[in-house]
A and B are shown apart, each in its own frame.
Chain A
Amino acid sequence: MWTVLSYACWGISIVLALWMLYDWFKVDTTFSEEVLTSSREGELEAVSEKHRI
């Protein structure tokens, strides 16, 4: 049973790692670098303030 569990762990790791790589590739090709790296320190406060209605 433990050996099966061990193989299952390898399987899950590989599947999730591949999914993350796929998603990473998809995001990087869909969005521009400017949008992705647009987060700024301190401006978060301003953003959340603006969105308070």
Chain B
Amino acid sequence: MTVTLEPAIHGDRVSLLRVLGPAHVWALGVGIVLVGEFTGWNFAADKGGALAALIVCWVVGLLYTSVAMIDSEVTSTVAAAGGQYAQAKHIVGPLMAFNVALFLVFAYTMLEVSDAILLGDTIVAKAGVEGLTHNSFIAATIVVLAWLNYRGVLMTLNVNFVITAIAYISIVILFFSVSPWTQGAVLKLNELVTPGNALPYGWIGVIAAFQFGIWYYLGIEGTTQAAEEVRSPARSLPYGTMAGMITLLIAAAMTWYVCASMMPWEYLGITYYPLWDAGKLTGSPLLENLLFVATLLAALASANGCINDAARAWFSLGRDRYLPTWFSAVHPKYRTPYRSILFLLPIALAFAFIADLNQAITFSILSGVLQYTFMSINIVMFRKKWPLGSIRRGYTHPFHPIPAVVLFCLCVVTFFAIFLGFGSQLIAMVAFYFLISLWFHFYRYRFVRRGDQFTMPWPKPQGY
């Protein structure tokens, strides 16, 4: 299928373009997340040891499987740009929706910032040239990807698909080239992870590791942002999201196995490039360079997806007048939310220059966990207001309410984990959301048209 990009105005409307398929949804979800295998997850080892990193890999995997199941059901039904924002608006209420959109914009923008810093630092580390700083590489990453996003969603996600696939394949290649079936040749798991050092801090370390365990998968829920641009959201979104989740679980397991078998946990916990280091330690220049390139590609794919998602969340806020309508403009030729993309660009750049990687990651994780807490309550309300059978759902997730309860409990544990490391920062963030909520509820909401916010062709919710 070819898509022509002539100014296409249906009647008097300019809308986003419906051009994406399930592979793009996969590329958007996995593309954002995969960078977590190249950096970030390993800080869990710092917090609790190598075994703790494996435990959280699986337990947080369970959290995200719940997220993916819940998300697939709600989003295959509420298919609108803004994803969880549109869900919150239809199910919980406007103020919640406003907050959810901010969670999204924060989580993705800070993730984009982390990606850009990682990319810059990786190049600087590789170059080893005196006086070379990461700033130019950060600027180029953010600006080039914003430009790509500006020019159209199809190209953006085609690029994402290719670079994500290369990065993923490189993990698989690394895994098979260290002969994973024999221990002792390259991999020395039982000498590196011993009963004495597997959990150096005991179980409290495992809990603390949850914070960075989130990083194995953070962002998979971003697939829903594409809802207005996929050809058949009810089918593609659940399919792409679930396929993405399976891909990531496999990648996370392989990454842990290789890295924990090649590096002592103390080093693993502080390095910024666990997979690249693993490539170096194999002694093969080919693998080393492959993993270097893959680290860059994963960071690019992630930042690319984040720009896409953050801009759509911001765009939806403008469209409902939660923020000035100016942001809800769609480019008549490229059909992208171009003003939102441009507005978020300098913000991302500014933070990339002033923050460091750890801090940016923490901001992102915090906003993510606040959002998952919302999702667990949201699905329960969704099933209550519109029980099964009352509206047409694209996908119905099994075992309700077990995933919701599991998700909620794991969110509580993660909040406790954040408290163990970043308690004051969490309080500062929540204080910010609280104040901006007051601003919205008592001032900004007066500019919003009440009934117009509810756009789904559904019956009246039960209990209202």
Inter-subunit contact B132/A13 (CB<8 Å): no
Q: How far is the CA of A31 from the CA of B12 in the complex (A)?
A: 11
Q: For B339, what are the chain A residues with a Cβ–Cβ distance below 8 Å?
A: 24
B216 beta carbon closer than 8 Å to chain A: no
B325 beta carbon closer than 8 Å to chain A: yes
B228 beta carbon closer than 8 Å to chain A: yes
Inter-subunit contact B144/A13 (CB<8 Å): yes
A26 to chain B, nearest CB (A): 10
Q: For B79, what are the chain A residues with a Cβ–Cβ distance below 8 Å?
A: 45
Q: How far is the CA of A31 from the CA of B144 in the complex (A)?
A: 25
A29 to chain B, nearest CB (A): 12
B131 to chain A, nearest CB (A): 8
B455 beta carbon closer than 8 Å to chain A: yes
Inter-subunit contact B328/A37 (CB<8 Å): yes
Inter-subunit contact B140/A24 (CB<8 Å): no
A53 beta carbon closer than 8 Å to chain B: no
B286 to chain A, nearest CB (A): 21
Q: How many residues of A contact B (CB 8 A)?
A: 35
Q: How many residues of B contact A (CB 8 A)?
A: 48
Known: A13-B144, A34-B12, A47-B10. A40 touches B139 (CB 8 A): no
Most interface-central of B10, B330, B339, B457 (chain A CB within 10 A): B10
B328 to chain A: closest residue by CB:
A37
Inter-subunit contact B14/A39 (CB<8 Å): yes
Inter-subunit contact B144/A2 (CB<8 Å): no
A interface secondary structure, majority:
helix
Inter-subunit contact B342/A20 (CB<8 Å): yes
Q: For A6, what are the chain B residues with a Cβ–Cβ distance below 8 Å?
A: 132-133, 136-137
B16 beta carbon closer than 8 Å to chain A: yes
B338 beta carbon closer than 8 Å to chain A: yes
B445 to chain A, nearest CB (A): 18
A6 to chain B, nearest CB (A): 4
Contact with B along A1-42 (1 / 0, CB 8 A): 011011101101100110111011001000101111111111
B86 beta carbon closer than 8 Å to chain A: yes
Known: A16-B143, A27-B331. A42 touches B15 (CB 8 A): no
Contact of B320 among A3, A21, A41, A47 (CB under 8 A): A41
Contact with A along B322-338 (1 / 0, CB 8 A): 00011011111100001
Inter-subunit contact B9/A35 (CB<8 Å): yes
Q: For A43, what are the chain B residues with a Cβ–Cβ distance below 8 Å?
A: 13, 15, 455
Contact of B147 among A16, A34, A40 (CB under 8 A): A16
Inter-subunit contact B319/A41 (CB<8 Å): yes
Q: For A38, what are the chain B residues with a Cβ–Cβ distance below 8 Å?
A: 12-15, 330
Docked complex: B76-104 residues within 8 A CB-CB of A? 79-82, 86
Q: For B326, what are the chain A residues with a Cβ–Cβ distance below 8 Å?
A: 37
B150 beta carbon closer than 8 Å to chain A: yes
Q: How far is the CA of A35 from the CA of B455 in the complex (A)?
A: 20
Q: For B133, what are the chain A residues with a Cβ–Cβ distance below 8 Å?
A: 6
B130 to chain A, nearest CB (A): 10
Q: For B80, what are the chain A residues with a Cβ–Cβ distance below 8 Å?
A: 41-42
Inter-subunit contact A27/B13 (CB<8 Å): no
Q: For A47, what are the chain B residues with a Cβ–Cβ distance below 8 Å?
A: 10, 13, 15
Q: How far is the CA of A36 from the CA of B123 in the complex (A)?
A: 40
Q: For A35, what are the chain B residues with a Cβ–Cβ distance below 8 Å?
A: 9, 12, 14, 332
Q: How far is the CA of A2 from the CA of B318 in the complex (A)?
A: 42
Q: For B328, what are the chain A residues with a Cβ–Cβ distance below 8 Å?
A: 37, 39
B-to-A contact residues, CB < 8 Å: 9-10, 12-16, 18, 79-82, 86, 123, 127, 129, 132-133, 136-137, 139-140, 142-144, 146-147, 150, 228, 316, 318-320, 325-326, 328-333, 338-339, 342, 345, 455-457
| 5 nearest CB pairs, A to B | A42-B455, A9-B140, A2-B127, A36-B329, A9-B136
Q: A38-B12, A47-B15 are in contact. List 11 more A-B contacts (CB 8 A).
A: A2-B127, A5-B123, A13-B140, A13-B144, A16-B144, A35-B14, A36-B14, A40-B13, A41-B80, A41-B81, A47-B10
User: Can you identify 29 A-B contacts, CB atoms within 8 angstroms?
Assistant: A2-B123, A3-B129, A3-B132, A6-B136, A13-B142, A13-B143, A16-B143, A16-B146, A16-B147, A23-B338, A24-B339, A27-B332, A34-B12, A35-B9, A35-B12, A37-B325, A38-B13, A39-B13, A39-B14, A39-B319, A40-B319, A40-B455, A41-B82, A41-B319, A42-B456, A42-B457, A44-B16, A44-B18, A47-B15
A-to-B contact residues, CB < 8 Å: 2-3, 5-7, 9-10, 12-13, 16-17, 19-21, 23-24, 27, 31, 33-45, 47-48, 50-51
